């Protein structure tokens, strides 16, 4: 079955970014709408889609069956988002938007997920230079708005911190002589990370320095021991370029754990397969001098310029006087 296109094919030759929406947005879309959106970038580009509004008909979602201009308070919005995660998108009378990527081995469409109801989906990213969205609306309603979204063709995998290697697609460097602390994330965070993707993060300190990583969010699809036999995505750590047996691979859901290097160099490797998706990780890093435990540096984001903070002088004086007593 040939599915007509909602809009002409979007290519990065014409525009690196832009917006698109359902037919007639922000008014309700026609009943029995069935069309597709195709995005094609250059070989080194990924397609990223971020949804800015989402309101499709679902018989079990009251917010798609009432006046869309009715104000909602914060509690109503939070309840809608929570309920939207549990909606069944498989019924024949449900309007859905499906996201597809292309299998690297067979060059066939592989479904990421179906989105329905009034909860904006997480951002999605292609595993290669192509992405397809299919919009199927058997029902519609005069109370729905449809959807709107932004698209971007990116080469940085949606990773905004670190210095990217210009010759290798997903390799990022963090040097303490450039910044002593900051954050780093999985590709496309906080959206779904792309399938069939491997990214390397290299941390390089000065002599007598080590780096400590604090994972504040961690959701990688998989089960222990996080290997190919369990079809798991994973994150692994090493004090060397090759694998380091000191550290076990990490997958599943965790938060608040820390990892510390033995020396000035450290490597983090993220690997996803072609099966499932999750939201990845967010972490902070901090380089520290092993011989100077009194120096504290603020963690900062890419938009901030942190400064080195020394312990208050009166604390130092108190400590010295205590030793002399």
Which residues are 217's β-sheet partners?
Answer: 282
Could you tell me which residue, 168 or 297, shows the higher pLDDT? Answer: 168
Q: How far is CA 20 from the centre of its chain?
A: 21
> 156, 239, 258: which is closest to 199 by C-alpha?
156
Q: What is the pLDDT of residues 66-99, one digit of tens each?
A: 444 444 444 444 444 444 456 889 899 999 999 9
Question: What's the pLDDT at 242?
Answer: 76
HEC per residue, 261-314: CCCCEEEEEEEECCCCCCCEEEEEEEEEECCCCCEEECCCCCCCCCCEEECCHH
324 pLDDT higher than 90: no
Burial 29-40 (b: 16+ CB within 10 A, else e): beeebebbbbbb
Question: What's the pLDDT at 243?
Answer: 75
Domains annotated for the chain, with CATH where assigned, are 10-154 (2.60.120.290), 163-314 (2.60.120.290)
pTM of full prediction above 0.75: yes
Sheet harboring 234-238: ordered strands across? Answer: 163-164, 171-175, 197-204, 265-272, 234-238
From 114-118, 121-125, 156-160, 321-325, the region with the lowest mean pLDDT: 321-325
Q: Are 148 and 116 in contact (CB under 8 A)?
A: no
Q: In 10 A of CB 310, how many CB atoms?
A: 11
Q: What is the pLDDT of residues 34-45, one digit of tens each?
A: 999 999 999 999
- For residue 108, the 8-state DSSP code is -
> 44, 47, 87: which is closest to 64 by C-alpha?
87
- For residue 104, the 8-state DSSP code is T
């Amino acid at each position: 079955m040939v599915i007509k296109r909602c809009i002409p094919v979007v290519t990065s030759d014409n525009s690196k970014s832009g917006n698109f929406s359902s037919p007639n947005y922000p008014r309700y879309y026609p009943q029995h709408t069935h069309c597709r959106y195709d995005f094609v970038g250059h070989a080194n580009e990924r397609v990223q889609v971020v949804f800015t509004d989402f309101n499709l008909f679902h018989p079990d979602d009251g917010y798609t069956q009432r006046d869309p201009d009715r104000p909602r308070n914060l509690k109503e919005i939070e309840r809608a988002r929570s309920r939207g995660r549990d909606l069944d998108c498989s019924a024949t009378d449900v309007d859905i938007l499906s996201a597809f990527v292309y299998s690297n081995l067979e060059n066939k469409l592989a479904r990421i997920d179906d989105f329905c109801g009034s909860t904006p989906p997480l951002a999605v990213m292609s595993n290669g230079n192509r992405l397809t969205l299919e919009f199927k609306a058997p029902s519609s309603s005069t109370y729905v708005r449809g959807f709107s979204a932004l698209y971007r063709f990116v080469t940085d995998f949606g990773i905004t911190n670190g210095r990217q290697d210009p010759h290798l697609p997903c390799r990022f460097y963090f040097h303490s002589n450039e910044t002593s602390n900051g954050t780093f994330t999985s590709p496309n965070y906080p959206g779904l990370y792309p399938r069939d993707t491997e990214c390397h993060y290299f941390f390089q300190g000065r002599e007598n320095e080590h780096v400590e990583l604090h994972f504040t969010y961690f959701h990688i699809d998989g089960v222990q021991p996080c290997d190919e036999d369990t079809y798991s995505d994973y994150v692994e750590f090493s004090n060397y370029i090759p694998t380091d047996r000191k550290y076990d691979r990490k997958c599943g859901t965790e938060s608040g754990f820390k990892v510390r290097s033995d020396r000035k160099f450290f490597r983090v490797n993220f690997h996803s397969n072609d099966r499932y998706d999750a939201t990845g990780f967010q972490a902070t890093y901090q380089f520290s001098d092993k011989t100077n435990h009194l120096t504290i540096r603020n963690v900062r984001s890419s938009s901030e310029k942190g400064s080195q903070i020394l312990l208050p002088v009166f604390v130092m004086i108190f400590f010295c006087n205590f030793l002399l007593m």
